[in-house]
Amino acid sequence: MSVVPSAVEAERAVIGAILLDNQVVNTALDLVSAAEFYRDSHRIIYQSIQELSADNRAIELVTLADHLKARGELDRIGGLSALGEMARETASAANIEAHCKLIREKAQLRRLLDAAERIKQNVASSSQPTEEILEEAEREIFQVATQKNFKEPVLVKDIITGVFDKIQELSELKGRLTGVGSGYPDLDDKTAGFQKSDLIILAGRPSMGKSALALNFIENVILNEKLPVVLFSLEMSAQSVVMRLLSSISKVSFERIRKGKVSLQEQADLAKAANRLSRVKFFIDDSSNLTPLEVRSRCRRLISQTGPLGLVAVDYLQMMTSNKRSDNRVQEVSEISRALKSVARELDVPMLVLSQLSRAPEHRKDFRPQLSDLRDSGAIEQDADIVAFIHREDYAGRGGSGAGGEAELLIRKHRNGETGMIPLVFIGELMRFESAARDEYAAEETKVYDAAEE
């Protein structure tokens, strides 16, 4: 019979240390909870210690015994003699932190065993499809892995040297980006690039070009930054994504590609673009109804195969489902947003997430979106490090053709930097945005329309 992970002696040592020296009680309470004690009697004693501490009462042999007696639990834990024995056998409170951490580790292993048993029973008895059983298994493991771990407050003097070294390191970059470049200089000037662990929300109404701009970001990361990227495309198929990228890279009209009306020269340009794409590490997952848990597990598998990712992108948030099913869509979207931020932090990678907007901008004189327009949940704004809106006055459905023209990237929230408007130009034929200041725009647009007339 297998032995259940436990640290009974450490549990006794923690209780004894608190009885020996009340000064360590806060250290213990910060590090470990009563639920993490293995032996029932120890759990009951520690629960009483928590309650006495909450009432600002001294914790010593007599007061603890009285509290347990008042709850009718003194005999259950072995009486006053059991408490006295723990106090006598503890020589010092010096190792209480190590003992608490050992208790936590064993508790987590027990939770893992419990999860494994539930998975085993589910596999043996469930009539669910294999994919659903696997998803449930991943959810069980995910919940164990993401149990809140203790991280004690740090004294500023202990980290100030490291912070100063970081400042020095940044100054030596001499203006170079500290994060992953977007390909748009004005945007990178504000953000210093997409930073690791940041949740970046790119939102807009339908037809504004959210997916197009996201693919433009991805194009720069894979071709110029030469970093691996994974796109979770819940709306477009992988083939459609690649077709759009080929159009953008080759500067061949997307419509001409889609309709099969490309010239010989354009075929050659597309072949060159395809050759460039075939050499990069760009992964597309076009599964539908993804959960944050699945995003996490698939990213982890990719990282184990390719190394760190340069960018994770999700198109788009409202098409995802939560790991915790809910009839309340606002609550579900809040769970998704919070979970994606956790994944970005855990994987230490910038995460670009596209989001829909409500119809509120259409009912205002100024159509430019605001943070309050984010659809389904205010939690998106709270969780995000950057919130940016793509806005085009001429988009289809508002009197314009949507073929191209001026666009604005509105940074409405930036946790660690400045906000503002970045002017862009949308080239509809290529499903591509360019910086408004770029001289190439005129030449590219001429090339597109010349090709269309052939």
Ramachandran quadrant class, 220 (left: phi over 0; alpha: psi -120 to 50; beta: rest): alpha
Identify any residues that bridge with 174 across adjacent strands, giving them in sequence order. Answer: none
Residue type, 376: D
**What are the angstrom distances between the C-alpha of 173 and each of 177, 179, 375, 416?**
8, 11, 39, 18
Of the CA atoms within 13 Å of residue 431, those in its CB half-sphere come to 28
Instruction: Say which amino acid occupies 82.
Output: A
Question: Containing H/E element for 407?
Answer: strand 404-414
Residues 244-271 as b or e (16 or more Cβ within 10 Å = b): bbbbbbbbbbbebbeeeebeeebeebbe
**End-to-end distance of the chain based on CA atoms, in angstroms?**
79
The secondary element (H helix, E strand) that includes residue 100 is: helix 96-125
**Residues recognised as catalytic:** 235
**Residue 418 φ then ψ, to 5°:** -90, 155
* DSSP assignment letter at 316: -
The burial class, CB within 10 Å (0-12 / 13-18 / 19+), for 370 is middle
The count of other CB atoms within 10 Å of the CB of residue 454 is 10
What are the angstrom distances between the C-alpha of 239 and each of 201, 233, 294, 356, 447? 24, 11, 21, 23, 25
Q: Are strands 386-391 and 404-414 parallel, antiparallel or unpaired?
A: antiparallel
Residues in the chain: 454
The amino acid at residue 211 is S
